[in-house]
Amino acid sequence: MATTTAPKSPTSTKSARAAKSGANNRRWALIFAGAAILVFVFYQYLLPHLDQSVKSVFDSWLPISTLEESLVWIICAIGLNIVVGYAGLLDLGYVAFWAIGGYTAGWLMSSFFNNVDFSFFGVIPPQPGGIHINFWIVLVIAAAFCALWGVIIGAPTLRLKGDYLAIVTLGFGEIIPQVFYNGDCIGPACWNVSNGTQGIYPVDSMNAPKILPGMKGATLGIFDQPYKYIFFCLVAALCVFVSLRIREGRLGRAWLAIREDELAASMMGVPLMRTKLAAYAVGAAMGGFGGVIFAEYVGGVVPDRFNFSISITLLAMVVLGGMGNVWGVMVGALVLAWINATGLKQIGVTFNQVFHTSINFPANNYLLFGGILVLMMLFRRAGLFPEMRTKAVLEEDEVADDAGGTHLSDPEEVTA
């Protein structure tokens, strides 16, 4: 080992890699922000004045409601990415947090609890009763509530690893929607906490500051979709911002270390439980955002929207986009959400028209998802836009798989 001290490295300048990833983040942020503003301007100010035929094309192929739904998926996928992509914990029950967030909105923004009459800067409907709290406050409450549930669910399950963890999270992902499904008569007193299969409907419109020209008022109902869209975008942007900032800091490094080598991380003073719980809580909080926004988008909460396939679709989005890379995950979520909501249906309609067939495309969407995932694993294992550090590894692996390169940290070998 060298006994001479190497010349002092430039400590004040940022590392080249950090600078590069910073530039990369700025570029992506600009692309997404630009696209979001463009879409808004187009749908709000241009489309209504365009020809009917153009309008119908956009209405069928890319309605603004699909974009809004995509934003819900994007927010949840970013949350799941923290758990799966950053900390490397396979979570198959993420829908639980989406559901809890949705029902939080249902409880706090509707006439559901009609025996109380409480409002706090909320949108109060004509009929009395219920709790009506301001949308933005509910957003914060739901995030906190979901984070709490993330910890409650995580505390017993995070002691498990890998496949076992996946199975247990899958269980929780089933239990929580079932609780809401059967929640119209809980306990001996037969409390109604969720209205059972009927769900909670309607949920109050959202309140938004009147910041844009032409906004009808400070309350956005289901028909003010382009305006809602811009606020949904802001929430998604917040999730991206939080993800990126945490990733660069102390906690993000600890998550990465756990993903790379759990044992070594614990030996280097990283408390495994706390760090994993933090990942769960942050991920769950974003699921809470997604839930509230979904309730706002649909105008209510219905339990059969929260099924297992949502967890799987979210996971597919994360994998397709590129685990660990927020931007890739956003692209993955956009693509799959669009295919799910309109793309497949429209492709089917066109296909059937051209070939005079009558194949039901949307009914086979999981076939398509399965196909996409298999192709991904064959040709682009790291996703469409992999994280820089993973990309380097995977590319090298393909080149030098048997060239005898030093492979670090075999997870199979338990100890020194």
Partner 1 sequence: MAISAAQPVTTEDLALSAQRITVKFGGLVAVNDVTFDIPDKGIVSLIGPNGAGKTTFFNVLTGLYAPSAGTVTLDGQNITAMAPHKIAKLGMGRTFQNIRLFATMTAEENVLVAMHSHTKAGITSTVLRLPSQRREERESSDAALELLDFVGIGKRYDEYARNLSYGDQRRLEIARALALRPKVLLLDEPTAGMNPQESAAFVGFVHRVRDEKEVSILLIEHDMSVVMRVSERVTVMDRGEKISEGTPDEVRNDQRVVEAYLGRTGTEGSAR
Residue 264 Cβ, how far from partner 1 at the closest point, in Å? 4
Residue 17 vs 27, nearer CB to partner 1: 17
Q: How far apart are CA 394 and CA 234, in angstroms?
A: 34
Give the contacts of 197 (CB within 8 A, at least 6 positions apart): 181, 184, 302, 303, 304
- Told to check if 148 binds partner 1 by CB under 8 A, we report no
Q: Which of 128, 163, 214, 250 binds partner 1 (CB under 8 A)?
A: 250
Q: How far apart are CA 73 and CA 65, in angstroms?
A: 13
Give SS3 for 370.
helix
- Told to check if 413 binds partner 1 by CB under 8 A, we report yes
- Told to check if 144 binds partner 1 by CB under 8 A, we report no
- Told to check if 174 binds partner 1 by CB under 8 A, we report no
Residue 386 Cβ, how far from partner 1 at the closest point, in Å? 11
Q: What six digits make up the tokens of 375?
A: 């192709």
Residue 363 Cβ, how far from partner 1 at the closest point, in Å? 41
Residue 277 vs 316, nearer CB to partner 1: 277
* CA–centroid distance for 145 within its chain: 17
Residue 294 vs 385, nearer CB to partner 1: 385
* CA–centroid distance for 23 within its chain: 24
Residue 90 vs 272, nearer CB to partner 1: 272
Residue 277 Cβ, how far from partner 1 at the closest point, in Å? 12
Q: How far apart are CA 377 and CA 181, in angstroms?
A: 36
Q: How far apart are CA 186 and CA 73, in angstroms?
A: 30
What's the number of CA atoms in the CB half-sphere (13 Å) around residue 268?
11
Residue 103 vs 289, nearer CB to partner 1: 289
Residue 174 vs 261, nearer CB to partner 1: 261
- Told to check if 241 binds partner 1 by CB under 8 A, we report yes
Letters for 383-412 (x = contact with partner 1 by CB under 8 A, - = none) are: ------xx-xx--x---------xxxxx--
Residue 24 vs 56, nearer CB to partner 1: 24
Residue 161 vs 245, nearer CB to partner 1: 245
- Told to check if 139 binds partner 1 by CB under 8 A, we report no
Report the DSSP pairing between strands 117-120 and 130-133. parallel
Amino acid at 212: L
Letters for 10-49 (x = contact with partner 1 by CB under 8 A, - = none) are: -x---xxx--------------------------------
Residue among 40, 25, 33, 68 at smallest CA distance from 290? 68
Q: How far apart are CA 325 and CA 78, in angstroms?
A: 9
The answer to whether 326 and 81 are in contact (CB under 8 A) is yes
Longest dimension (CA), the chain: 81
Letters for 261-300 (x = contact with partner 1 by CB under 8 A, - = none) are: x-xxxxxxxxxx-----x---x------------------
Q: How far apart are CA 224 and CA 205, in angstroms?
A: 10
Amino acid at 368: L
Residue 400 Cβ, how far from partner 1 at the closest point, in Å? 11
Residue among 140, 257, 139 at smallest CA distance from 203? 139
Interface with partner 1 by CB under 8 A: which residues? 1-9, 11, 15-17, 241-242, 245-246, 248-254, 256-257, 260-261, 263-272, 278, 282, 389-390, 392-393, 396, 406-410, 413, 415-416
